[in-house]
Structure 1
Amino acid sequence: MIRALALILALVLPGLGQAQDLTALARLDVGQSAVRDTRAGPEVDLFLSQPVPWRAFTLTDPARLVLDFREVDWRGATAETLLQGRVGASDLRFGTLRPGWSRLVLDLTGPFAIDTAGMRVSEVDGTAHLTVALHRVTEAEFVAASGAPPEGPEWAALTLADPTLPAPDPAEPGVLTVVVDPGHGGIDPGAERDGLQEADLMLRLGLDLAEAINRSGTMRAILTRTDDSFVPLEARMTVARQVGADVLISLHADALETDAAQGASVYTLTEEALDRASARMAERHDRGDLLAGLDLSGQDDTVATVLMDLARLETAPRTDRLATALVSGLRQSGATLNSRPRREAMLAVLTAADFPSVLIEAGFLSNTDDRAALTLPEGRAKIVSGIVAALQSWAAEEQARAALIRQ
């Protein structure tokens, strides 16, 4: 049984249940979201435009489930559209709890405790799916599992990373700025196996990689996160543009049902995704954060899309050459490669138009040897060495190519 963190404000505030005019971080997909009855008890399924910090807990007198978010735009939702079956739940309310925070309250018809609660984040489009399932318990068990303890450091840590960074020191001429993006973090642990979490292992790998890049003398590294914090996809792009990224490398480690798959692979955006990436970014991002050095605040989707497509004419081939160099570098360093190390996918973190970006699946948590390699410093060292060598080789070749074009 899961006992989720509770909010100290236990009372149901007046006014909850009315759709608020929010400038929200996450929008509720009303068509997919629902509260359903199952044999065990009520189940809450909420589909959001992007992940946000959240928590779930139960309260007594009357019995209710409380979900807090930072924050959700409820427009278009009603209790009638969300409630599908009333056996375990009699009513629900939602709205603004306080500035920057939203709350959903589900009235329960009996003693139900939280059985499972989790948020899955799509690496394709950055959307999130929150599921909270409850099951019937005795009255005594319900009372024991409910309550609103004081806020502790574990909840205080679940805050959105502030994408606003101080202006970085200008890089030396010829120094390559590499944004290292350890995947997942905070409320999004990523893949999990044998007590290991993808977010934690990728942070370790990211810190090792950043240190090696900064020791190179020809490159500098900027990390999108340096601890177990949640950074939205849009904020990762913002960080990259604010520091003048020459390249972004996102680090991940997948997990499958079996341990057959093994080794690292390098992903770039598919041709199909390239055709749609500019339009999708124009819809999702602030106009001032679409292209480095170019404010598109006064432009419509069509103009923004055209300008990003033009930028991709240069960055797409450079990204392909970077991916090829990374595969070669990892092979030469002795890192274990997947049988098909060069791959393409429609991943949101790869959609930047103005700088090359790749995603490296450093291995599979479902594979015993890969887990060992990612856990041990000597295993990570081979991956780091291969990436650093590839970046240096790629940067030198790109400079030579640019010099030839200028002649």
Structure 2
Amino acid sequence: MRLGLLRDFARLPPNDTGANAVLRAALIFLLTLAAALPASAQGFGAMARVLGAESALEDRGPGAEMTLALTQAVPFRVFTLADPYRVVIDFRQVAWSGLPPGFDASDAVTSVETGAAFQPGWSRMVLTLDAPLMPAVAAMETDPTTGEARVILRLDPATEDGFAAQAGPPPGAEAGLLVTAGQPDPSALSRTDGRLVVVLDPGHGGVDPGAVRGDLHEANIVLTFARELREALRRTGRVEVVMTRDADIFVPLPTRITLARAAGADLFISIHADAVAEGRAQGATVYTLSEMASDAASAALAEQHDRADLLEGVDLSGADDVVADILMDLARVETAPRAAALADGLVAQISASGLELHSSPRGEAGFTVLKAADIPSVLLEIGFMSAEGDLDNLMNPDWRAEMQAALVTAILDWAEADAARAALLRQ
């Protein structure tokens, strides 16, 4: 939660009358109450710690399986390296001091090294293998009550050629460790390079395939699109990209928001390609958050997205307490216009690139995934699988590249304009 904005409101001139005076008095009370909250309730960006008693690395048949329990969910990525065979797991700021001495009980894994990655803001674990093993499952489960997370990594046997074909760090990632043991230095992990942090959220995944047309699943289509968009953004050298999922796994909607906060997101973009049962829907649409949907179709789409969390037993019907509601509403006073500016910019650039937009390209609805009060967030429907033309586009790499180029331009333009607005507000 950005309390800086709230303090600005609390410093309204003392001679204000009416609504401003009431608001100022209420804010002083709320800020006092917020300051008394336990640190765990405020530390969204804190470094995660390893829960040693619940963490283990063991053989599983001809392969191996790792369970890594953490005090909170953090974004992570997995890749492989050859010569020697290694599996690398990068996390956003994990303190390794809680890793138990007997953690590695696997004969298939010859050594485990932990430390900081060369890329600022990332911690790293390197598993050196006795033989080629490829990640078959890389998933994170989050306890909705405690916020604790459990990373499951299952490694299955692979051929030498198959391993070599997939090996290599993602763009922008170095292969080694900055620190080979112990807890990383938090000062070395802070993001100081000035790059924009964009969190891409490919919708659905795992038990929730999203829209389905024949053997095509929305979850897979938007994951491919998000991966390609990530590389396009990284190539600019101005953007750091974090994905809420980089595999066909289920990530609950609240966890997606938690991961964005842990990544220090400057903006959050959820990507979808839905299908509609009735009426015509074709072309790209960009949504921002509103408790009142802009039309019936938007309301139905938001309900359809949120209902997917019931597949994993996540109850989204509980009401937040009054204090939290007010604090979040106040934070949205700042983020809502920034999100609207991003959405408008995306629509304008898609149109300028000659790509098809929906007849009503700007929508509003109560999507749960957009409810991070402190992060400008939009939901982008890149097209509708129920429309034959859109589906053809979604499967066409040339069309996807054009759409991604438009989005990159719009995001960078928004970042410049947003920074300029922030500079004016500080004066």
TM-score (norm 2): 0.50
Change (3 A) 1:273 1:355: farther
Partner of 1:337: 357
Q: Deviations over 1:138-187 (max 9, x none)?
A: xxxxxxxxxxxxxxxxxx95965455799894334431100000000000
- Check the 8 A contact 1:160/1:232 in 2, yes or no: no
**1:356 equivalenced with 2:376 (yes/no):** yes
Partner of 2:265: 245
- Structure 2 distance, partners of 1:273, 1:311, is 20
Residue among 274, 281, 286 paired with 1:261: 281
**Letter of the structure 1 residue corresponding to residue 254 of structure 2:** E
Change (3 A) 1:313 1:237: same
**Letter of the structure 2 residue corresponding to residue 374 of structure 1:** L
**1:382 equivalenced with 2:388 (yes/no):** no
- Check the 8 A contact 1:308/1:353 in 2, yes or no: yes
Q: Deviations over 1:13-33 (max 9, x none)?
A: xxxxxxxxxxxxxxxxxxxxx
Superposed, which structure 2 residues align to 1:52-201 within 5 Å?
A: 161=141, 169-201=189-221
Partner of 2:241: 221
Partner of 1:394: 414
- Structure 2 distance, partners of 1:164, 1:321, is 36
- State which drifts further: 251-260 or 314-323: 251-260
Question: How far off is 1:194 after superposition?
Answer: 2.8
**1:365 equivalenced with 2:385 (yes/no):** yes
Q: Which runs of 5+ in 2 are unaligned?
A: 1-135, 143-148, 152-183, 295-308, 310-319
Partner of 2:324: 304
Partner of 1:314: 334
What secondary structure, in the 3-state scheme, does the structure 2 residue paired with 1:213 have? helix
Partner of 1:328: 348
Change (3 A) 1:331 1:161: farther
**Letter of the structure 2 residue corresponding to residue 319 of structure 1:** A
Question: How far off is 1:345 after superposition?
Answer: 1.1
Question: How far off is 1:403 after superposition?
Answer: 1.3
What secondary structure, in the 3-state scheme, does the structure 1 residue paired with 2:292 have? helix
- Structure 1 distance, partners of 2:150, 2:375, is 19
- Structure 2 distance, partners of 1:159, 1:405, is 41
Change (3 A) 1:159 1:170: closer
- Structure 2 distance, partners of 1:359, 1:236, is 13
- Check the 8 A contact 2:140/2:150 in 1, yes or no: no
- Check the 8 A contact 2:199/2:260 in 1, yes or no: yes
Residue among 227, 239, 243 paired with 1:207: 227
What secondary structure, in the 3-state scheme, does the structure 1 residue paired with 2:200 have? strand
Q: Deviations over 1:63-104 (max 9, x none)?
A: xxxxxxxxxxxxxxxxxxxxxxxxxxxxxxxxxxxxxxxxxx
Q: Deviations over 1:298-325 (max 9, x none)?
A: xx92222222121111001111111101
- Structure 2 distance, partners of 1:370, 1:321, is 25
- Check the 8 A contact 1:372/1:379 in 2, yes or no: no
- Structure 2 distance, partners of 1:215, 1:345, is 32
- Check the 8 A contact 1:248/1:357 in 2, yes or no: yes
Change (3 A) 1:190 1:405: same
- Check the 8 A contact 1:181/1:251 in 2, yes or no: yes
Change (3 A) 1:169 1:179: farther
What secondary structure, in the 3-state scheme, does the structure 1 residue paired with 2:383 have? strand
- Check the 8 A contact 1:254/1:366 in 2, yes or no: yes
- Check the 8 A contact 1:364/1:371 in 2, yes or no: yes
**Letter of the structure 2 residue corresponding to residue 350 of structure 1:** L
Question: How far off is 1:338 after superposition?
Answer: 0.8
**Letter of the structure 2 residue corresponding to residue 369 of structure 1:** G
Output the aligned Cα RMSD.
2.6
- Structure 2 distance, partners of 1:396, 1:242, is 23
- Structure 2 distance, partners of 1:173, 1:354, is 21
What secondary structure, in the 3-state scheme, does the structure 2 residue paired with 1:370 have? helix
Looking at secondary structure, tell me which structure has more helix per residue: 2
- Structure 2 distance, partners of 1:344, 1:273, is 5
Q: Deviations over 1:189-217 (max 9, x none)?
A: 00011321100000000101111111111
**Letter of the structure 2 residue corresponding to residue 329 of structure 1:** Q
Question: How far off is 1:334 after superposition?
Answer: 2.8
TM-score (norm 1): 0.52
**Letter of the structure 2 residue corresponding to residue 368 of structure 1:** E
